[in-house]
Structure 1
Amino acid sequence: MKSFKLYSLDVVDGEASVEVPLEDGLILNKEDERSTWLLEAYTDLSLYDYFQPIFDHSRELILEAVITKKENTPAYFQTKIVSLKKFEKHISVLFEGHLRRNKSDYSELLLDSLMQKGLEGPELLKEFKEKMKSKPKIKVKNP
């Protein structure tokens, strides 16, 4: 098992995205035969009402996670909430899931989004290089 610091976390829901402000976060690669990952977000109590119905209905979520430091390329995970704990001022949300490898490569997603905006040629290349450095969030479609 390997553990990493969860730097940032967003829930991607179709065209919408919900930023989860982290008080603290941890991500574990269980390195098991199913390639399972655990992501724990320790976040603000105000998000409890957002996560509770998702947990109650065992709804799948796509998470965009940046691991260790801001400069790292986001990774996308197909997850379900396995635990939701309420504390005095915070909540702990534990997700279990798998790394999405299909259409989750950041550079492919970025290129696709720029092309959908109608960019091409030198303008596309310039914008692509700039965005690869700044790593803006990209909306992904649920499978």
Structure 2
Amino acid sequence: MKTFKVAGFYLAGQNNAQEIRLLDGLIINREDEKQSWLIELFVDPCYEELLRSYEKQKDELKVQVIITHPSNDPALFSAQIRALNKLENGINVLFEGELLHMRNEYAKQILADLVHEGLEGEELIETFDIYLRQRKNARSDKTS
């Protein structure tokens, strides 16, 4: 098994992603036959209601994890919440998931989302550049 620091975490939605600000986080490549990963996050209690709603759904979630350093491209996972515990100073969340895309697929995902939104020409190029620098596919108020 290999363990890495989580530098960023996003719940990926259709054409957007919701950042979950971290207090701390680790991701573990279990290196098993299923290619499974464990993602353990320690987050602010303000996310409890949102995360509990996903926990109750028991559906697979698309999540983006920035591993080790904020400048790295996010890795896309299909994951489920396996445990959610309220602690004194935050919420501990354990996800189990599988890696969906390698890093070079991230740019394709962003481009497809922007084209789907109807962007073209210079607006497409500028917005694509902004999204790549932000390392997430959520629209920023700065891009308006």
What letter corresponds to residue 108 of structure 1 in structure 2?
K
Q: CA deviation at 1:99?
A: 0.6
CA distance in 1, matches of 2:51, 2:125: 39
TM-score by length of 2: 0.81
Amino acid paired to 1:2: K
Structure 1 unaligned regions, length at least 5: none
Q: Take 1:61 and 1:48, find their aligned partners in 2: how far apart are those partners? A: 16
Q: Is the 8 Å Cα contact of residues 11 and 18 (structure 1) preserved in structure 2?
A: yes
Q: Hey, what's the Cα distance between the residues in 2 that align with 1:133 and 1:15?
A: 14
**Partner SS state of residue 100, structure 1:** strand
SS at match of 1:33: coil
- Measured in 2, the distance between the counterparts of 1:57 and 1:126 equals 37
Q: Which amino acid aligns with 2:120?
A: L
- What is the Cα-based RMSD across aligned positions, in Å? 2.5
8 A Cα contact 1:5 1:67, kept in partner? yes
Q: What SS is found at the alignment partner of 2:101?
A: coil
List structure 1 segments (4+ residues) > 3 angstroms apart after TM superposition.
Answer: 113-118, 123-133
- The residue that corresponds to 1:127 in the other structure is 126
Closer/same/farther in 2, CA of residues 118 and 40 from structure 1, 3 Å limit: same
The residue type paired with residue 129 of structure 2 is: E
Post-superposition offset of 1:136: 4.0
Q: TM-score, normalised by structure 1?
A: 0.81
Structure 1 pair 49–110 and aligned structure 2 pair: CA distance change class (3 A): closer
Count of matched residue positions in the alignment of Structure 1 and Structure 2: 136
